[in-house]
């Protein structure tokens, strides 16, 4: 072989090695951001049972899985866009916000749902019977004001009550507080926080821990039935560059959903262990077995929020259906 040709062949071979090592690195790495609550149980089970690693190994990959704990959709979205995580876990509201912002660029879309959970707005103020009774003296705790799914559902409820122009009426008395701290404030009483739009198990702990606590709003009532509140999403680049890792994650999630449905007792123990939760086990089991709670990865009843957010100008792009803001994967085919 001519020396120049030999040198070119060597260079190409070397470049191939570099590219293959980069691809291998991309394929193995997955960092997942979760927040607080039983809504992340599928991730807790996947972590405890090492399901992502299991499915990655079956695909010929040694997966390096990292778990990141954050609070609020804004923090999660920032982490995803800055490249610090591959999978984001947050509410449907933050997903729609970041889908809208990245359309035609990073193209962030939903990967899967974490299940259907009713979210309760709980108050310890005896004068508050409905959202119309909150005053300037009240403070409603949410994970992220105006961004979190709780905040968006509250806006939708406000729009139904006072009209679209007043959709953000309760934003000015809302405060961003992590669920554990907000729950402690509702149970204890005597703080400026008189309302908390939370999620399981914090909302149930509040109702059990303070005789004054009552449900003011149920997300299912606002959204018209069982709905995926918390979802997982990623960039198009991660899905394209790491297809095997992506698929291993989806398969792990589906296996976790089957595990929780079949083994609620074991799932409860895993939640307590992985999240280091200080919770009554019987209360936890009651939540997991609640007929209104469904552990499934197919998104359900998310479009009402998408349509509302576009109508009030919270997102610029109007999705035609759930297929616009969720990836075209098997688990999302029957989504709505």
Average pLDDT over residues 94-111: 96
Average pLDDT over residues 109-120: 97
Average pLDDT over residues 57-73: 92
Read off the pLDDT of residues 29-59 as tens digits, 9 standing for 90 and up.
999 999 888 999 999 999 999 999 999 999 9
> Which two structure tokens, joined as six digits, stand for 34?
């979760």
Average pLDDT over residues 176-202: 95
pLDDT for the residue 2 = 54
pLDDT for the residue 154 = 97
Quick check: 18 pLDDT over 50? no
pLDDT for the residue 144 = 87
Spatial CB neighbours of 332, under 8 Å, sequence gap ≥ 6: 110, 112, 298, 299, 322, 323, 326
Report residue 89's pLDDT band, with 50, 70 and 90 as the boundaries.
very high
Read off the pLDDT of residues 268-279 as tens digits, 9 standing for 90 and up.
999 999 988 888
Set out the domains of the chain in order of their start, with CATH numbers: 3-117+228-332 (3.40.190.10), 120-223 (3.40.190)
Quick check: 17 pLDDT over 50? no
Read off the pLDDT of residues 230-259 as tens digits, 9 standing for 90 and up.
999 999 999 999 999 999 999 999 999 999
pLDDT for the residue 25 = 46
Half-sphere exposure of 29 (CA within 13 A, CB side): 13
Average pLDDT, the chain: 91
Average pLDDT over residues 163-173: 97
> Which two structure tokens, joined as six digits, stand for 27?
């394929």
Q: What CA–CA distance (Å, rounded) separates 72 from 80? A: 13
Give the predicted TM-score (pTM) of the model: 0.85
pLDDT for the residue 26 = 73
Average pLDDT over residues 287-298: 94
Task: Please say whether the dihedral angle defined by the alpha carbons of residues 156, 160, 161 and 166, taken in this order, is positive or negative.
Answer: positive
pLDDT for the residue 248 = 97
pLDDT for the residue 13 = 44
Read off the pLDDT of residues 116-167 as tens digits, 9 standing for 90 and up.
999 999 999 999 999 999 999 999 999 889 888 899 999 999 999 999 999 9
Report residue 74's pLDDT band, with 50, 70 and 90 as the boundaries.
confident
Please give the residue that has the higher pLDDT: either 260 or 12.
260
Note every long-range contact of 159-167, with CB atoms under 8 Å and residues 24 or more positions apart, other chains counting: 159/308, 159/312, 160/222, 161/131, 161/132, 164/311, 164/312, 167/308, 167/312
Query: Would you say 176 and 106 are in contact if contact means Cβ atoms under 8 Å apart?
Result: no
Q: What CA–CA distance (Å, rounded) separates 111 from 251? A: 11
pLDDT for the residue 23 = 41
Quick check: 265 pLDDT over 70? yes
């Amino acid at each position: 072989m001519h020396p120049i040709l030999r040198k070119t062949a060597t260079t190409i071979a070397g470049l191939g090695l570099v590219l293959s090592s980069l691809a291998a690195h991309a394929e193995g790495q997955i960092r997942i951001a979760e927040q607080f609550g039983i809504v992340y149980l599928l991730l807790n089970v996947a972590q405890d049972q090492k399901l992502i690693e299991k499915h990655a190994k079956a695909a010929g990959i040694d997966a390096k899985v990292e778990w990141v704990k954050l609070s609020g959709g804004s923090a999660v979205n920032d982490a995803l866009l800055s490249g610090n995580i591959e999978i984001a876990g947050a509410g449907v509201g933050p997903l729609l916000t970041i889908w809208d912002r990245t359309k035609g660029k990073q193209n962030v879309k939903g990967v899967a749902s974490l299940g259907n959970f009713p979210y309760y707005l709980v108050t310890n103020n005896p004068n508050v019977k409905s959202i119309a009774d909150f005053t300037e003296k009240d403070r409603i705790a949410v994970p992220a004001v105006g961004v979190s799914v709780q905040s968006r559902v509250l806006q939708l409820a406000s729009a139904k009550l006072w009209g679209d122009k007043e959709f953000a009426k309760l934003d000015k008395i809302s405060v961003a507080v992590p669920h554990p701290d907000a729950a402690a404030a509702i149970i204890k009483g005597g703080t400026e926080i008189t309302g908390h739009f939370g999620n399981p198990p914090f909302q149930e702990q509040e109702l059990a821990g303070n005789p004054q606590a009552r449900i003011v709003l149920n997300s299912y009532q606002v959204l018209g039935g069982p709905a995926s509140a918390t979802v997982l999403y990623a960039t198009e680049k991660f899905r394209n560059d790491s297809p095997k890792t992506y698929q291993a994650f989806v398969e792990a999630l589906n296996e976790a959903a089957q595990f929780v449905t079949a083994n609620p007792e074991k799932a409860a123990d895993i939640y307590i262990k992985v999240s280091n939760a200080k919770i009554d086990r019987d209360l936890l089991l009651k939540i997991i077995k609640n007929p209104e709670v469904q552990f499934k990865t197919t998104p359900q009843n998310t479009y009402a929020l998408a349509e509302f957010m576009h109508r009030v100008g919270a997102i610029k792009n109007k999705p035609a259906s759930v297929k616009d803001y969720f990836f075209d994967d098997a688990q999302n085919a029957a989504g709505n």
